[in-house]
Structure 1
Amino acid sequence: MAIIVRDGLVLMIRRREQEGKLLWAFPGGGIEGDETPEEAAVREVAEEVGLDVKAVRVLGDRVHPQTGRHMTYVACEVVAGEARVADAEELAEVAWVAHGDIPGLVPWGLFAPVQAYLDDALTPTS
């Protein structure tokens, strides 16, 4: 899963069909062949939302409690492009989401390392 922050917002996708209880999620998908999690995140972002990103660092991995699938979370930075629904078969919508709006989309909470990263990246410093 790619965690992409830009201009104080994080990119989320709404799937056409729920996966377990998941409807809103971060862009991402399966690792193909000999890909690293970072390479898979970069490829999936291009395929799903049409953005060119670079992987910055792995935030952590786990077996997702809602889907039972192994997930690796990768912080990414936008290199070029504008987010859009590039894979209309899988995605219904893309949205840049404010920190305070995440709980409304993911009510059971985020994976702790992802939450900590977003708390730091999305919370304005005064």
Structure 2
Amino acid sequence: MTAPADVPALGGRHCPRCGAPTGEPPARCAACGYETYCNPRPTGTVVILRDETFLAIRRAREPRKGYWDLPGGFCDGFEHPAEAAVREAREELGVTVELGDFAGMFIGSYDFQGERLPVLDCFWLATITAGEIVLDPSEGSEFTWLPLDDPPEMAFPSMDSVLRELVVRRSSVRLAS
């Protein structure tokens, strides 16, 4: 599958092993045979619900600075997305969370250093089990509880998708409080 025409070309036009020119991924290096791909990067994100609302933080940095966001982020190395979701909630909110039901997985994109990278966004319902919310100012400038039935446009379309999915599935999922 190739990126849409409006997506800037990805880097990696040189072999990471030997440095020879390769072209756009997927590519096989003619010099050493190394193959490169443009695979989605996994993320782990929590959706913390309270009554008919969800916790959102206002992004303090690009991309999409100023938009409402859900606590989460990229997996480290071989970290499982569920572990990343718990870690990211601790780092961004200063709280400990317990994951509940898996809320969904969506293909998305993330603009980074002039490139649009594919991501695999994984979402879990979560409950705060310890601590008070203290935002990391490098991640969020404020937090609030927004209505699940009428959320604003979120920082990333996959977040809009998971919130819509939760409204549809409301009666069949355990809504964390």
The two structures have a TM-score, normalised by structure 2, of: 0.56
Decide whether aligned partners of structure 1 residues 118 and 3 sit closer, same or farther in structure 2, where only a CA change above 3 A counts.
farther
Q: Which has the higher helix share?
A: 1
Alignment-mate amino acid for residue 130 of structure 2: A
Deviation (angstroms), 1:73 = 1.1
In structure 2, distance between residues paired with 1:114 and 1:46: 21
- The residue aligned with 1:78 is 128
The two structures have a TM-score, normalised by structure 1, of: 0.76
Q: Which ranges of structure 1 fall in alignment gaps of 5 or more residues?
A: 122-126
In structure 2, distance between residues paired with 1:101 and 1:18: 24
- The residue aligned with 2:38 is none
Task: Identify the match of residue 106 of structure 2 among 62, 68, 74.
Answer: 62
Higher relative contact order (CA closer than 8 Å, sequence separation 6+): 1
- The residue aligned with 1:124 is none
Task: Identify the match of residue 87 of structure 2 among 43, 62, 86.
Answer: 43
Deviation (angstroms), 1:66 = 6.5
Decide whether aligned partners of structure 1 residues 105 and 93 sit closer, same or farther in structure 2, where only a CA change above 3 A counts.
farther
Identical-residue share of aligned pairs (%): 29
Q: Greater shift after overlay, 57-66 or 47-56?
A: 57-66
SS at match of 2:91: helix
CA contact 2:57–2:142 (8 Å) conserved in 1:
yes
In structure 1, distance between residues paired with 2:80 and 2:73: 12
Question: Deviation digits for residues 36-78 of structure 1, max 9, x if unmatched?
Answer: 1111101100100112111112222122156543211111112
Q: Which ranges of structure 2 fall in alignment gaps of 5 or more residues?
A: 1-44, 112-117, 172-177
SS at match of 2:84: helix
